[in-house]
Structures are given as C-alpha cells and as structure tokens.
Amino acid sequence: MIASEAAPLIKVGGLADVVGALPKELAALGHEVRVVCPLYAGIKKTEKWIPYDTPLTVNVGESDQQCRIWETRLPGSAVEVYFIEFNEFYDRPEVYGNSGKGPADEDRRFVFLSRAALNLCYYLGWMPDVIHCHDWPTALVPVFLNTNDFYEPLGRAASVLTIHNLQHQGMFPFSSIEYANLPRSVYRPDCLESMGSVNFLKGGIYNATKITTVSPEYAREILEPANGCGLHHILKFRAADLIGEINGIDTDIWNPESDPLLPANFSCRDTKGKDACKAVLQKELKLEGKPAVPLFGMVSRLYHQKGLDLLAEAIPGIMETKDVQIALLGTGDKEIEKKFLELAERYAGRVGVHIGFSDELAHRVYAGSDYFTMPSRFEPCGLSQMYAMRYGAPPVARSTGGLIDTIDGAIDGDYSAATGIMFADAESADLGLAMGSAADTYIEKPEEYNRMRLNGMKKDFSWKKPAATYENIYRWAVEVRKQAHHLRAY
Ligand code: ADP
Ligand code: GLC
C-alpha cells in the first residue's frame, strides 16, 4: 500500500484514516500488508523505529538519488510501515504544497515516492501480488508497472488505484515525465496527457488493473460530465473495472465506550456520558453551559468541497430564529476561517470556533455534539459522518456521494429508521431549514430524536465488509494481471 498519508502517523484528511485502518483489517484476514509513506517533518520517530544502513537508490531525473528507509509498525498492529527519508522533498511541515515558498516541486516529490516505493520492493526482495495506491500522489505506480517495470519481477504485481477525491488530479508540466524516466509514449490523450499537461491521476486510471472509489454513489456520480472533473470519458472507458466501496472506520480508535480522549464514556446502551462530553465541549469552545440547547458540531477541512461557507452564510438567520449552538473545528481556506472567527465574535457564547488541526478535540466534538453538520458540495465517502453517528451525533447532511450511502435520512418527519437528516441542494437556505427542523426535533420530539441517535450508534461501520470486498478486488486484479502478461508474451 503506497500513500501520501497514514493515520495516526501523518494525517490531513480521511485518506490517512483509510491507510491507517484497511491494512490492519487485511492483515487480520491473513494477508501480508506493508505500507510505504514519506517521512515528513511532522512525523515523530520513536525508539521502535529501525533505520536501514544501506541507502535505497531511486532512479529519477538525470542522476540516481539515495534515500534512507525507516521501518516501523502501524500503531497497535503488526503491519510494517516503511518511511522514505529524503529531506529535500519531505523535510517540511506540509504534506502537500510548500506554503508558496521554495521550489514548485510537488510533481517530483510524488514521482519520487512512487518510484522509491517500487524500488523498495526490489531492495527488500519482497514482491507483493498487489500494489494498492491512493489518489494522484501515487497514481504513477500503475504507469510504472505497465512500462519500465512490466518485464521486471514487480511487473507481475497487479495494481489497484483508489480514487478518494477526483477533484485533485496532479496536473504538471511535461518535465515530470522526464523526471520519472517514463517513456515519452505515455504522453498521449488516452493516458497521461490532459489539456496540454501531464495528469497523474488520469495515467493511473488508464493503467491500474482495477480502480476503486470510496462509495457506490460516488462511483456513479463521477461517470457524469457534471461530476467527472474532466475525467468522465476515461472513467467510462474503464467503467467495467471501477468499483465503489464504502470506507470503514477503525472501531477500536473510534469507540465512545472506551475512547480515552473523552471526559466520559458512553454507548448505545447508556448515553448518559454524552451529557458530560457536551458540557466539556461547551467549555472548551467558550459556549454557554446550557445542557438543553441543541449543539451542532463540525470537524472539517475548510474548503469549497465541504460547503461550510454555506453554513457561515446561514448562521445569522439561524441565530435569529433558533436557540442553538455551533461548535466548529477546522482549518483550510483563510477566507472561510476568517468568516467563522468573525461569527464566533459576533455570536459569542453561541458560536464556538477552533481554527487548527487537533485529533483530540475532534473526538470531543463528535462526542459532545447533538448533531453533526456536513453540507458537502460533493463527498466521495466521508468518514466524519460515520464517526458522528457512532458518537451519537446524527448528521445533518447534504444528499451527495457517500453521504447518501451511509446516512438514512428521516423521511417526511418519520425518524423510526433514520440515522440523520438530509437536504438536497447546496444552498445556505436549504441548510438553514434542515438545521432548523433538526433543532425543533431535538426540543419538541425528544423520543424521536433519541431513536434517530440510537439508530446511528448501533450501525456497523467497521472495516469488516469493505475489507472483504477489497480482498475480492485484489483476487480479481491478480487474475487479470496474469492474463495481461500472458497476452503480451504471445
Ligand atoms: P476528507 O478526507 O475529505 O477531509 P473525511 O470525512 O473522509 O473527509 O475525513 C476527514 C477526517 O479528518 C476525519 O477523520 C476528521 O475527523 C478529520 N479532520 C478534519 N479536519 C480536522 C481538524 N481540523 N482537526 C482534526 N481532525 C480533522
Ligand atoms: C477524501 C474524500 C472523503 C473520503 C476520504 C477517504 O478525502 O474527500 O470523502 O472519505 O477521501 O476516502
């Protein structure tokens, strides 16, 4: 498994959660899974890390480069993780980008990761049956396997590319192909070329043995021009090999019954502890200590995708008409951050905002909230809503992508089978109405609210089923890869 993030070691968003959890579940099924990730400045080594004395040679650009390999385990498991130490590219605080400073080297950073991860297999003498890569940063792996490595031992490995977010594709100048030492022939409109640029994700989609994305609904959406981010043609071309499977969540880490980050634990059998969690969250986010006021939480990257600008627009109207509280933890777009900081000032005690990234506070927001707001414009899967449901905070979410597949929305005021409240359009007025009706339900129909809360807490969001699906996808990919070799050999 090759990826640019792996929780809990380094995390920007849900990709890290997936890479930190799926390998553990696959290992439990009896597979040998190894993970490769860059050693960014933010990662803290422990005494359990083992450095390799012999450097790994990476054949990129005009002359070979050398990097150092560190071996450790995914915390709480026997899954081996290899970190690539190459300071020129990874010794900076950001996982992506470089805060506009220094060289624009994003293409080279992730060409390097993909090439280094493949070379690591030769270096370790370990030939996996399947190489699973994630999003554009590692999408060149299937391209390497079909070109430079095809007749090498690793060329027998099947590749699976998971698309976590089609919006980010990795578009770069032609020089990135030269840096990767890939044949110029890959720069074709059906492979890596896209509108005069090199498109890493497109190359991965064309070359991967199998392609997955993180919900069945998103798998359908991305075949349409409106949601295909310019890649719907190639996705349609590969549609027979594209599978949508919902992500699971790590139910050991995200367990309200034993979560050590909470001031009190609780479960669907006894939700009492949630009151203490709400009180602590209100204190932490400087909200008035009112137990009966419905509290809407959010934990999010603050970008256009997540639609939280719609919430910022809706807040004044909501504040005037309903007695509710808002608790937001997020970071991202400076404009959106500023809007929320202004709202926190204007509605002091009712809107609480923490700008930044804090895993610990995230757990407490899920646990302390009565509802979880997720007005995403698009959402390939979404993990936050699953954490929220497990922690007894029914989502108020837009019906899109994985939110449709994971939340059972109340229908015409019937909450008997609901786990959340859904609204159709990415408009602040629609969001405001949905939050208003959620607040009314909380205050006026406590029994129905509780039913909805418990329905969500009881749902099985574990990796059990998705991991079994991935196991099938890997088997299928291995068969197809064998045939590819057979066909080329004759
Ligand atoms: P995405 O990957 O698009 O950001 P997901 O819902 O799949 O959306 O996953 C987001 C993950 O990142 C969740 O684990 C969420 O708790 C976490 N997260 C997002 N923002 C923050 C933050 N500011 N602090 C801590 N965790 C965050
Ligand atoms: C992406 C998507 C999110 C998904 C996550 C993990 O970041 O935006 O919807 O849950 O990847 O697959």
**Per-residue pLDDT tens digits for 116-169:** 999 999 999 999 999 999 999 999 999 999 999 999 999 999 999 999 999 999
**What residue's CA is closest to ligand 2, atom 12?**
164
**What residue's CA is closest to ligand 1, atom 24?**
357
How many Cβ atoms from other residues are within 10 Å of residue 87's Cβ?
11
What are residue 199's DSSP bridge partners?
Answer: 171
Testing ligand 2's pocket by substitution, the residue of 11, 12, 15 carrying the most ligand atoms inside 8 A of its CB is 15
Residue in 170, 304, 308, 165 with CA at minimum distance from that of residue 228: 165
Q: Is 14 in the pocket of ligand 2 (CB under 6 A)?
A: yes
Task: Please identify, by atom number, the ligand 1 atom nearest to the C-alpha of residue 7.
Answer: 14
Testing ligand 2's pocket by substitution, the residue of 381, 385, 387, 400 carrying the most ligand atoms inside 8 A of its CB is 381
User: What does the DSSP assignment read for 426-446?
Assistant: S-HHHHHHHHHHHHHHHHH-H
**Separation of 127 CA from ligand 1 center, angstroms?**
33
pLDDT per residue over 422-463, tens digit each?
999 999 999 999 999 999 999 999 999 999 999 999 999 999
Terminal Cα-to-Cα distance of the chain (whole angstroms)? 31
What is the model's pTM? Answer: 0.97
Task: Please identify, by atom number, the ligand 1 atom nearest to the C-alpha of residue 374.
Answer: 6
pLDDT per residue over 227-261, tens digit each?
999 999 999 999 999 999 999 999 999 999 999 99
Is residue 102 pLDDT above 80, yes or no?
no
Task: Please identify, by atom number, the ligand 1 atom nearest to the C-alpha of residue 384.
Answer: 6
Q: Is 367 in the pocket of ligand 2 (CB under 6 A)?
A: no
Contact predicate 60/29, CB 8 Å = no
Q: Where do the domains of the chain lie, and which CATH numbers do they carry? A: 14-248+465-489 (3.40.50.2000), 272-458 (3.40.50.2000)
